[in-house]
Chains A and B, each alone.
Chain A
Amino acid sequence: MEESLTLKKLRERFPASIIDTHSFRGDDTAVVKRVDVVDICRFLKESPDLSYNFLMDLTAVDYLQMNNPPKTERFEVVYHLYSIKYNHRVRIKAPLTEADPTIDSLTPLWAVANWLERECWDMFGIRFDGHPDLKRILLYEQFEGHPLRKDYPLTGRQPLIGPKN
C-alpha cells in the first residue's frame, strides 16, 4: 500500500526518530522517540502542506498486561492530530519506560494540551515536562495511585468519607 503523505514527510524530516509506522484500517500511525515529540508535532502543525491544526486527543496506554505480543516499554502516549485544511488525521505514539514515564509537554503548541496532560497524569502518572500546573484533574488530591494503570485494581476505592469499601 502506498504510504500516506504525512508518514512520508515525517520519515524524510525525522529519519532517526521514527521507530515504526503503520496504517491499520486506514489510520496512519507513527511510533516515534519521545525526545522528539514536540519537534514532530510542531513540524506537523506548522508545515504548510500538512497543517495539523487540531490536537484532537491525547491519551496514554499501559501495556503492562499486553501479551500479544508483549511490549518492551510499559507506557505509550498517544496523540491524535487532525487538519481542518486537508481533512486528514494522524496518530503519533511515543513509548515511555516504566522507570521514567516523562515526556515533554505540548502546552506551547495547543492550549487544550494543558487539561489533556493533566488527565494523563491523573490517570497514568505520566509526567509532562514544561507543563505549567501538573495536578490531578478528575480525581481528588488525596487519591493515591493512578487508576488507569493496569496494576490498579478496578474496585480500589479510596473514599474521603464514609466506610472504607
Chain B
Amino acid sequence: MAIESALGESVVLTRTDKVLGWARKYSLFLYPFVTACCGMEYMATAASHYDIDRFGAGLPRFSPRQADVLFVVGTISHKQAPILKRVWEQMCEPKWVVAFGGCTCSGGPYDNYATVQGIDTIVPVDVYIPGCPPRPETVLDGIMKLQEKIQNQKQEL
C-alpha cells in the first residue's frame, strides 16, 4: 500500500497499459467485411506475397464475436449500412474499425443515391486507408498505424 502511494498510481498503470497494448497489437483478429473491389487487394495482402501474418493479423475470424478489428473493405451502400452497424455492435470491446479504400473513407468515386459517403457516418473509424484500391503496402502501413494506436491508447481491462 505504502509503496504504491509512494510511486503514484500512474506508474503502475502505464506499465500495464504498455504490456497489454503490446499483446493486443500483435494479435489482431480481423473481421473482413468484404463487399467490393477492395476485397481483391485484401486477398492479395492476405496471401503469401505480402503476408499480413507478419504483423500478427493473419487470422481472419468470420464471426464478429471473435474479432477485434473490423476491416470494412469495399463500398457500403445504403442497403448494406444497417448490416455493417449490426456487425459492429456485435463485436466485443476492445474493438477497432479500419476503413479500407476510398469508398469507405468518403464514398470514393461514387457520389450518388446508393452509396454511403464514408462509413464514419455510421460507425467510428480508427484508421483510414485511402486508395482505390489501396496497394498492399498501403494496407500494411495502415495496419502498422493501427498497431501504434493500440500500443499508445489507454487499455481497458
Do any CB atoms of chain A lie under 8 A from CB atoms of chain B in the complex?
yes
Chain A interface mostly: loop
Verify if A69 is at the interface (C-beta below 8 Å from B).
Answer: no
- Bound complex: CA A163 to CA B114 (Å): 14
* Docked-complex contact B114 and A159, CB < 8 angstroms: no
Verify if A140 is at the interface (C-beta below 8 Å from B).
Answer: yes
- Bound complex: CA A140 to CA B113 (Å): 12
- Bound complex: CA A162 to CA B81 (Å): 8
Which residues of chain A from 136 to 165 have a CB within 8 Å of any chain B CB? 139-140, 147, 152-163
Verify if B85 is at the interface (C-beta below 8 Å from A).
Answer: yes
* Docked-complex contact A159 and B116, CB < 8 angstroms: yes
Contacts A162-B121, A162-B122, A163-B121; A155 near B112 (Cβ below 8 A): yes
Query: B116 contacts which chain A residues (CB < 8 A)?
Result: 159, 162
Of the candidates A153, A154, A159, which one forms a contact with B78 in the assembled complex, judged by CB atoms under 8 Å apart?
Answer: A159
* Docked-complex contact B78 and A160, CB < 8 angstroms: yes
**What is the CB-to-nearest-CB distance from B112 to chain A, in angstroms, rounded to a whole number?**
5
Contacts A162-B121, A162-B122, A163-B121; A155 near B81 (Cβ below 8 A): no
Total count of chain A residues near the partner, CB < 8 A: 15
Count the A-B residue pairs with Cβ separation under 8 angstroms: how many? 37
Chain B interface mostly: loop
Verify if B148 is at the interface (C-beta below 8 Å from A).
Answer: no
- Residues of chain A touching chain B, judged by Cβ–Cβ distance below 8 Å, are 139-140, 147, 152-163
Verify if B93 is at the interface (C-beta below 8 Å from A).
Answer: no
Q: Max chain A CB contacts within 10 Å: which of B78, B82, B116?
A: B78
Query: B114 contacts which chain A residues (CB < 8 A)?
Result: 139, 147, 157
Verify if B15 is at the interface (C-beta below 8 Å from A).
Answer: no
* Docked-complex contact B79 and A153, CB < 8 angstroms: no
- Bound complex: CA A158 to CA B81 (Å): 12
